[in-house]
Structures are given as C-alpha cells and as structure tokens.
Amino acid sequence: MGTQARVVVLPQSSAVLRIEEIELPDPGPTQVVVKEFASGICHSQLHQMHRPRESPVILGHEATGAVLKTGSEVTHVREGDIVLVTWVPRNAAAAKALPVRATLPVSDGTAESENVFTWADHTLADEQYVVKVDPGISRDVTSIIGCAVMTGAGAVINTANVQPGQSVAVFGVGGVGLSAVVGAKMAGADPIIAVDLDDAKLEFAKQFGATHGINASQQNPIEAIHALTAREGQFTIFGMPVSGVDFAFDCIGIKTTMEQIIPACRSGQFGAKDGGTGVLVGVPGTSVELDAMDVLLNEKHFIGSIGGSCAPDRDFPRFLEWEENGDLKLNALVTQRFTIEQINEATAALEKGQIQGRAILEF
C-alpha cells in the first residue's frame, strides 16, 4: 500500500506552484519513504522555477523527518529512525550504483525531482540521500543542514580548508553565507568580513562570527577589504604592499560578486607565497570575466564548491555537534517559517530578498 502525501508541484509552463494530494508508491529496493517535519526553502529552487523545463518538477532538497518505510536493500536506516534528507550522496566514495531519482505521476504529467524532493509532507528518496541522526535533535531548524549549512560551512572547512588566522570575506550573508561565516569562525579565521547590501543583514552576521561588515551599496567592497587586510612587510611582484583576504567566498553567484572575489583576494608575496583564493559557492546565472593578468601576476586562484564538498555521513555529525554546543545557532539562522499552503508566498519573499537568514516549511 502506498503513502498519501501532499506535494508541491512546479507546472511545466508556469512558475506558480500548486499542492497536490499524491499516493507515493512503496519504496523500491534502495529507496526510503520519509515523513517530514520541516524542509528548507533554498534560493536555488528559484533557478529551477525560472528556467525552461519539459515536464512538471517536484522541488526541495533539504529536510528533517522520520523513516516510515525502507526498501529491501536498505540497511543503514530502519522504520522510526530520525533522518536528514539531502541532495548530496551521503558517502559517494562507497556507493556501488547511481542513486534512483524519484518521479511522481501528477495531474499534468510525470514530475521529476533533481535528486530528491522535500517540499512535501512525505517524500520518497534513494537511501544515498538519507542520513541517520540522533533522535534528540531539533526536528525543525535542523532541516537546513542538508543544503544551507552544508554548502556554506562546507565550502570553508572542506573546499577551502581555511586554517586558524587566515582571513575570509563572505559575499552575501543569507542562509548559505551565514553558514560560511560560522564555518570560518569554527576554523579560527580572522578577520571574517561580511559583504552585503543590507545593514541589518551585516549586523545580523556578527551574531554568527563576522568581525566586520561592508555595505557594498555604500562603499567599494574591494577597496574596503584591502584597507582591512594590509600585510606589513610583504610586497607584490611590483613592490606594492600585500593586502586582501586569503579566501573570498561568493555565496550569491551573480556577475558582480563573481567578478569581485578575485580582486578582493590577497596578492601573492613575490618569491615567497602565492595569492588568495576566490571560491564560487552560489549558483551562477551568468558567465563571468576574470582579470587574467591579476590571476597570473599575483598567483591567485578561482575555484568552485558544490554542496560544500561535503560527504554527509562524515560532515552532518560535525554540524549537529556545532548546533548542540551553541556555535551554529540554527534557531537564529531560521528567521521565517511557512506552511505548505504558503509556498508561493515563501518563494516570493525569497525572490524579493525579504528572508534575512533561512526560511523553512513546517509540516
């Protein structure tokens, strides 16, 4: 017997979301049915909503829930286990086959998910996207670990491997950017410079570990970053003083910020040390132009980070430990909550920049 579910569906030819009552099939051999408590509302879903598609789509990719049913080959979780649902395979290195992507029959065709779907009170997911966690965790705010926290904090601790005393700038301090700020704090970075267009968001970022805030609508963020990060006694190939951050993280992905992170990075110290690294974390919507001479002469680096380079089985326990110790502050990071009936209101608020931290759906 299947499982009744209320699922948010993105139609093929419209960006207006609808809710459908659907019967989820029983799980296949490697699948799990999860009753969800809450799901994150991620900015990347806006990209899905606005790009062309050939069929309806089911959305969402981070959640907290309880296992209702398991397939015959699933061994790492059992019925009743509390789990985090994510869109990154929990241990890709050990996987023996590709995950099974969920598809559902809906009123106007067959809807596909991108790895998982979590804008639903129940979901059907491949076991590779389901991570068993301690049953005592908060069952609402932990829903954002599966993308926002993983992507932002993971970019700092995994992709960049920031070390104590290294300097960091984070462009865009929404849910992912604030998670990057927390990751930088836990890595021992100093200074941690938040860059945004909103003074309230910059002040909010200081609750999570930012030491400085730069409003890019009021001053040139590149110049401001260099003014904060001069390196006494270090000189470039041209004999100019070295300044700039060791790592600049773009947690937005627009052309302006993608083209700011490399100039914001530290120049190399001639003959002694290479330059800083710009890390692209936000999903880009455009192409980007880099100053190749700056990259060459100052030995700078431009790299990408997808999903924070995370292995959820390895990294989620660490993030939950940060939360338990009071370092992650998920209750503060989650700033708005919506019901499934309010999903269009929620995505509109996200698109207008009205979500200060991260929003969630509660079921």
Residues 281 and 356 grouped into a single domain: no
Query: How far is it, in rounded angstroms, from Cα 39 to Cα 65?
Result: 9
Residues 180 and 79 grouped into a single domain: no
Please report how many Cα atoms fall inside a 13 Å half-sphere around the Cα of residue 126, on the Cβ side: 21
Structural element, H or E, at residue 344 = helix 343-351
Mark which of 274, 304, 334 sits at the end of a domain.
304
What's 35's domain CATH number? 3.90.180.10
Put simply, whether the predicted model's pTM sits higher than 0.85 gets the answer yes
Q: How far is CA 124 from CA 12, 30, 66, 97, in A?
A: 21, 10, 12, 18
Residue 152 counted as domain residue:
no
Residue 153 counted as domain residue:
no
Segment 162-175, tens digit of pLDDT? 999 999 999 999 99
Q: Is the pLDDT of residue 270 over 90?
A: no
Residues in the chain: 363
- Residue partners of 354: CB distance under 8 A and separation at least 6: none
Torsional sign, CA 77, 78, 79, 81: negative
Q: How far is CA 347 from CA 60, 135, 167, 233, 243, in A?
A: 12, 30, 34, 49, 39
pLDDT at 285: 86
Residue 154 counted as domain residue:
no
pLDDT at 179: 98
Residue 253 Rama label (left phi>0; alpha psi -120 to 50; beta): left
What amino acid occupies position 149?
V
pLDDT at 297: 94
Segment 71-118, tens digit of pLDDT? 999 999 999 999 999 999 999 999 989 999 989 999 999 998 989 999
Query: How far is it, in rounded angstroms, from Cα 201 to Cα 222?
Result: 19
Pairing of strands 334-338, 301-304: unpaired
| Residue carrying structure tokens 């929990």 | 90
Residue 244 Rama label (left phi>0; alpha psi -120 to 50; beta): left
Residue 155 counted as domain residue:
no
Residues 285 and 354 grouped into a single domain: no
Mark which of 304, 332, 351 sits at the end of a domain.
304
Query: How far is it, in rounded angstroms, from Cα 216 to Cα 222?
Result: 9
| Residue carrying structure tokens 């809906």 | 106
Segment 302-352, tens digit of pLDDT? 999 999 999 999 999 999 999 999 999 999 999 999 999 999 999 999 999
Classify burial at 14, counting beta carbons within 10 Å of its beta carbon; exposed 0-12, middle 13-18, buried 19 or more: exposed
Residues 317 and 299 grouped into a single domain: no
What amino acid occupies position 22?
I
Residue 254 counted as domain residue:
yes
Residue 325 DSSP SS3: coil
What total of structural domains would you count in the chain? 2
Residues 198 and 277 grouped into a single domain: yes
Query: How far is it, in rounded angstroms, from Cα 285 to Cα 87?
Result: 20
Lowest mean pLDDT among 35-44, 78-87, 121-130, 230-239: 230-239
Query: How far is it, in rounded angstroms, from Cα 278 to Cα 266?
Result: 10
Query: How far is it, in rounded angstroms, from Cα 347 to Cα 359?
Result: 9
Residue 156 counted as domain residue:
no
| Residue carrying structure tokens 């900015």 | 43
From the list 341, 346, 339, the residue with the least C-alpha distance to 361 is 339
What's 191's domain CATH number? 3.40.50.720
Residues 225 and 328 grouped into a single domain: no
Residue 183: domain span: 161-304
Query: How far is it, in rounded angstroms, from Cα 112 to Cα 55?
Result: 7
Segment 177-218, tens digit of pLDDT? 999 999 999 999 999 999 999 999 999 999 999 999 999 999
